[in-house]
Amino acid sequence: MKIFLLGYMGSGKSTVGKLLAERLKHRFVDLDQYIEDQEDEKISSLFQKKGEIYFRKKERAALDELLEMEEALVISLGGGTPCYGDNLQVIQNSAENTTVYLKYSIPILLERLWKEKEHRPVISHLEDREKLEEFIRKHLFERGFYYNQSNLILSCDEQSPEQICAAIQEKLR
């Protein structure tokens, strides 16, 4: 079984993924980290030096590798991964795979991302909270179509990572 965690940046996919993998005794893979390890370069640098098309091709190749693995995995996807090409369909082609959307409200995402925006190249240039909120709203509108096709959709605003993991485990039974 492979469990894919989807959601917007700042939704805690990696935090929840690590905890869930530990609880389920699966291996955890952060897709972005997996790509960085293969390329020996940060995602932000890949985008800057080689462009988004190069990155998306590498992302798809990495996704294909993970899908071919026989072992049980919890995989944290990049925020845009399910929205490009046929990535989401490929993931959902197997009944062995489960997609989980970690859904947060815009105010919660705004708070989280405002605190860490300097570490996120995609939003570091946004100089005030209003511009960041507008950016989040636009992206969520575009990506919601994909995120909402997940097998499980969890509203996570008032929940800790432990509670989110427990909810996922309960739904998987």
78 annotated to a ligand binding site:
no
- The angle at the Cα of 24, spanning 19 to 26, to the nearest 5 degrees, equals 90
105 is in an annotated binding site: no
Q: Is 60 annotated as a binding residue?
A: no
Residue 37 marked ligand-binding: no
Contacts of 82 (CB under 8 A, 6+ apart): 6, 88, 91, 99, 143, 146, 147, 149
Q: Any binding-site annotation on 14?
A: yes
Does residue 98 have a known ligand-binding role? no
128 appears as a binding residue in the annotation: no
Query: Is residue 11 annotated as involved in ligand binding?
Result: yes
In DSSP notation, 6-71 reads E--TTS-HHHHHHHHHHHHT-EEEEHHHHHHHHHTS-HHHHHHHHHHHHHHHHHHHHHHHHHH--S
**CA gap 148, 146 in Å, rounded:** 5
- Cα–Cα distance measured from residue 94 to residue 71, given in angstroms and rounded to the nearest whole number: 14
Binding residues for substrate: 32, 56, 79, 143
Binding residues for Mg(2+): 14
Binding residues for ATP: 10-15, 120, 159
Binding residues: 10-15, 32, 56, 79, 120, 143, 159
